[in-house]
Chains A and B, each alone.
Chain A
């Protein structure tokens, strides 16, 4: 498995973070973050809570602002420029810990909302695309239900389908399985692995180390707002270099 992922051909750098610094008031959340992700690469970000993992990926689609450094997505600077923001958000999709589906819309309407209103896709075409992705996450039969009628795992799969609808190059996953019942984690991870196989660029913040081992090209360990260590999964899990990561792995894996 490890050789297979290592032999995968990666494209050009598609996300570039250079010396990114961010503060919440006086609190320094991100410290000199440097990260380059290539087209088709699967990056898993791990680390204790409060280490800045989510904040970092939320800076990439500007749900959070940063104060210093630069972030570029496909060469476009992530800043307040409305045009840039639009280009970036059409290319970067996000899946949230709490799904954040729109409860007043049906599953299908959740999926077609952005294509129809933001990207002006004809409604019929938007519905076809939506159904295609719903089938992909095995949930097409629920298209006319409302989010609260579905289980957590189903909702998260819908959220993934919604994120896919504008066919983004990059998918950001922000702890996609942390709010799920143990029995439902598997079905969501299955869908994510399917995407990984198809060559989407993915950055995933997760505590699912099994997922990281199986599909990641690179695993990043963050603590206290810094990237402490990054390595291929094999080295990351079996020969961690930093003491902090050794301690972390000992605590999460030895049970």
Chain B
């Protein structure tokens, strides 16, 4: 028999580390891999330079009219001139400071929340007060602010209003529906299942049509229910079903032992759900939830069909201007870019949140 002393750890061989090893492992590891690498580079070569040429090198930035766009590239003058339309729709020009203040407040609160630690305690209060403040500012009609009907709201402003209201309201509603679906009470359970399956079985367009055309039939004559409010209700109810399904998938990832431990400690149903199960279920569903919210954000453009002018609809409106005919390409590229900025930030935020909430940091 023999005894062996413990050995110190050595570095891996040179061929297994550094950038050369990375390229060999990831780009050139097999004939297939080499083919895909070449194909990928070719696609980038064919698409990126022409786009850069159109969007930047040959593009026109200076000037105020269509006549200033002389090059072959994009005419960004159009976007520049119509920027307020893209951002705020038909919101009266002299009142634009109001939506701008609301947006500035959001940014300021975001920054404060990051740097002023004490603000956390007022989080709920702010969440309750801010929508009221935003509505007062945007809608006006009191405090000496002139009335701006919601039909005048448009562009990015409208998109953000619909998306944020939709997200904020569908989230708690979705949680309740998911809890309902898990419920042991057969009536609550079947109502939740029926609602979720029904809503998931119809397209959002149908829901919006129903909200805008069918819903008013149930109101007494003369009651004119705001079009935007109807769209908001439709979208919220629609998204809640998807949120509910996401959260349900999160519930399924929670081991039975978590419920039992909570029960054994004496937690009641709502305490168990709110303190133990939901935080974990939501954590595992963050990628799916954010996916749902991203599609909600993009689906807001469907409100166009019930006569609301969101960001995407503004492309039609602005490029139909007689002075700017034929500018849809620039409009669509610009709008796509704005959509991308928002959806990409949402997915970055979700990644950060996942990281922050990850408690399995190893030993």
Write the residues of chain A forming the contact surface with B, with a CB cutoff of 8 angstroms: 61-63, 86, 89-90, 92-94, 96, 98, 100-104, 113-114, 117-119, 146-151, 162-163, 166
Contact = CB atoms under 8 A, between A and B. Distances in A.
Interface centre among B261, B268, B283, B357 (most CB of A within 10 A): B261
Interface of B: 255, 257-258, 260-268, 271, 275-276, 279-280, 283, 357, 359-363
Contacts of A98: 255, 257
Contacts of B362: 148-149
A61 B264 contact: yes
Given A102-B276, A148-B359, A114 B257 contact: no
A114 to B, nearest CB: 4
B257 A104 contact: no
A166 B268 CA distance: 16
Contacts of B280: 102-104
A93 B275 CA distance: 19
Contact of B264 (A86, A93, A147, A148): A93
B224 to A, nearest CB: 47
Interface centre among B260, B361, B363 (most CB of A within 10 A): B260
Given A103-B359, A148-B359, A149-B363, A114 B266 contact: yes
A120 B40 CA distance: 62
Given A148-B362, A166-B265, 13 more contacts: A89-B266, A94-B264, A100-B255, A102-B258, A102-B262, A113-B265, A113-B276, A118-B265, A118-B266, A118-B267, A148-B360, A150-B363, A166-B266
A141 to B, nearest CB: 14
Contacts of B265: 89, 93, 113-114, 118, 162, 166
B360 A90 contact: no
20 contacts: A61-B264, A92-B264, A98-B255, A100-B257, A100-B261, A102-B261, A103-B359, A103-B360, A104-B279, A104-B280, A104-B283, A113-B275, A114-B267, A118-B267, A118-B271, A119-B266, A146-B361, A148-B361, A149-B361, A166-B266
Contact of B267 (A63, A117, A148): A117
A140 to B, nearest CB: 18
B281 to A, nearest CB: 10
A102 B262 CA distance: 9
Contacts, number: 77
B257 A96 contact: yes
B271 A100 contact: no
A245 B153 CA distance: 81
Given A89-B266, A90-B266, A146-B359, A63 B275 contact: no
A126 to B, nearest CB: 13
B212 to A, nearest CB: 42
A89 B264 contact: yes
B275 to A, nearest CB: 6
Ranked 7 nearest A-B pairs via Cβ: A100-B261, A146-B359, A100-B257, A89-B266, A114-B265, A94-B264, A148-B360
Contacts of B263: 61-63, 89
Contact of B275 (A89, A117, A146, A151): A117
A118 B261 CA distance: 14
Given A90-B266, A102-B276, A114-B266, A63 B260 contact: yes
Nearest to B274: A117
A186 B255 CA distance: 27
Nearest to A151: B363
A100 B361 contact: no
A124 B131 CA distance: 36
A89 B268 CA distance: 11
A163 B265 CA distance: 7
Contacts of A86: 266
A163 B266 CA distance: 11
Contacts of A151: 363
Contacts of A113: 265, 267, 275-276
Contacts of A89: 263-266
Nearest to B267: A118
A93 B264 CA distance: 7
Contact of A104 (B260, B262, B267, B359): B359
Nearest to B256: A100
A119 to B, nearest CB: 8
B360 A117 contact: no
A162 B268 CA distance: 17
A189 to B, nearest CB: 21
Interface centre among B258, B262, B266, B267 (most CB of A within 10 A): B266
Contacts of B361: 146, 148-149
A166 B260 CA distance: 17
A96 B261 contact: yes
Contacts of A93: 264-265
